[in-house]
Amino acid sequence: MEAPSGAGPPTFLAELAQELADLEARDLRRRLLEVEEVLPGGRVRVGGQVLLNLSANDYLGLAQDPRLAAAAAEAARRWGAGAGASRLVAGHLRLHREVEEKLAAFKGTEAAVIFSTGYMANLGAITALVGPGDTVFCDRLNHASIYDGIRLSGARLARFPHRDLNALEKLLHGAPPRGRRLIITDSVFSVDGDLAPLKELVSLKERYGAVLMVDEAHATGVLGPGGAGLAEALGLTARVEVHMGTFSKALGALGGYVAGDRRLIDFLHNRARSFIYSTALPPPVLGAIDCALEIVRREPERRRRLLAEAAVFRQQLAAAGLNTLGSETQIVPVVAGSNRAALDFAQALREAGYLAVALRPPTVPPGQARVRFSLSAAHPPEALAQARQTIVRLARELGLPRT
Ligand SMILES: Cc1ncc(COP(=O)(O)O)c(C=O)c1O
């Protein structure tokens, strides 16, 4: 008998190919871009060409910092390459406890728990905290991992327009009296680069007896006097119940976290399935996180420099009439409109020596395709000055929408 081809029913692969062709026809097909070499100064080599990387989330330039690489190597030497089991089984190393204690001190909370990624932290925390009968109030532009967590939880999704406090209040007012009410917001929105109205969200959640969860993925290491995020910057740490974030962006490593009251963290150890049923974060990554937390604490000038450069970048692009939406941070979008326009803009930038990826639906709303620039403390100021000029020139040449 002939061995099965592995191709499944005759129509299976043809159907997938058809879906890919449909995506292609709508300028929505995604392809992997191979980085051949990572170079100093926030540069990469792609297709033989050296590009200034304006698309990474390595905001403090720590991903390539030799101290993180050395700390990772040292942790691997002492503890091995893998943790060997999930945390509740036999994978909870002293290193996990030490890094979690350091993290809690950094965040200004009683305790903290580390997940394998930020995605897993959102999935685990949300599904543990809410379920059928509960309601989650979610900013429309929150990250996909938050939406996935809500869907998986079975809780009711009450989505409010981006940063619209009146709409949120109406939803809170009309919510069923029974069941938990959880408000979730990104603190820095990942594709618009603007900030959540955190002070007002805290007031609303207190008025309506809700719980507030803040995703500080793009703020950790960047905002606040100690780099802990927007809640710290606004002096609101103690009034937010669930602090979530990731080590994969400004901290240059990998792994997500939730920080808060000891009882919250103990509860997550018992109920967060992405924590319970997944192997513990490996020692080299913990070594890198530990080192990154230390650098964030000791070198505040990195985030100050980043934010100062970002302010100049935003101002100059906006002054040239480009639509940078409400960006207030190191993430600066430039709206192109159609998917084609965003792809053409990204291609023109690439030819000019810049890696800046086009974001299209479903990552952004239809008609708001854009190129998202993200700055890093690793970028030399002169390279950023050049980049600003080139971006403005190309945007004009391509006829991008003006404000
Ligand atoms: C706001 C936000 N939350 C969560 C995540 C997920 O984090 P990670 O990349 O560590 O899985 C991201 C990153 O893509 C993000 O932008």
Domain 29-58+300-397 is of which CATH architecture? Alpha-Beta Complex (3.90)
Nearest atom of ligand 1 to the alpha carbon of 248: 10
- Among residues 162, 249, 374, 379, the one annotated as catalytic is 249
CA distance 211 to 258: 14
Q: What DSSP string describes 112-162? A: EEEESSHHHHHHHHHHHH--TT-EEEEETT--HHHHHHHHHHTPEEEEE-T
Contact 325, 82 (CB under 8 A): no
Residues linked to residue 45 through DSSP beta bridges, in sequence order = 37, 50
CA distance 30 to 369: 14
62 pocket-lining for ligand 1 (C-beta < 6 Å): no
- Among residues 190, 274, 327, 376, the one annotated as catalytic is 190
> What is the pLDDT tens value at each position of the chain, 403 positions in all?
555 556 678 799 999 999 999 999 998 899 999 999 999 999 999 999 999 999 999 999 999 999 999 999 999 999 999 999 999 999 999 999 999 999 999 999 999 999 999 999 999 999 999 999 999 999 999 999 999 999 999 999 999 999 999 999 999 999 988 999 999 999 999 999 999 999 999 999 999 999 999 999 999 999 999 999 999 999 999 999 999 999 999 999 999 999 999 999 999 999 999 999 999 999 999 999 999 999 999 999 999 999 999 999 999 999 999 999 999 999 999 999 999 999 999 999 999 999 999 999 988 989 999 999 999 999 999 999 999 999 999 999 999 999 8
Contact 330, 59 (CB under 8 A): yes
Strands of 37-39's sheet, edge to edge? 37-39, 43-46, 49-53, 354-355
309 pocket-lining for ligand 1 (C-beta < 6 Å): no
CATH of 66-298, one of 3.40.640.10, 3.30.420.10, 3.30.420.40, 3.30.365.10: 3.40.640.10
Contact 165, 143 (CB under 8 A): no
Q: What DSSP string describes 270-330? A: HH-HHHHTSBPPPHHHHHHHHHHHHHHHH-HHHHHHHHHHHHHHHHHHHHTTB--TT--SS
Residue 190 annotated to the active site: yes
The residue whose CA is least distant from atom 16 of ligand 1 is 190
DSSP 336: E
Q: How far does the centroid of ligand 1 lie from the alpha carbon of residue 399, in Å?
A: 32
Helix (H) / strand (E) element for 73: namely helix 66-79
Whole-number Cα distances in Å, 95 to 23, 72, 104, 284: 45, 12, 14, 10
190 pocket-lining for ligand 1 (C-beta < 6 Å): yes
Residue 96 annotated to the active site: no
Residue 143 annotated to the active site: no
Q: How far does the centroid of ligand 1 lie from the alpha carbon of residue 118, in Å?
A: 5
The residue whose CA is least distant from atom 10 of ligand 1 is 118
CA distance 193 to 184: 17
Q: How far does the centroid of ligand 1 lie from the alpha carbon of residue 301, in Å?
A: 24
- Domain extents for the chain? 29-58+300-397, 66-298
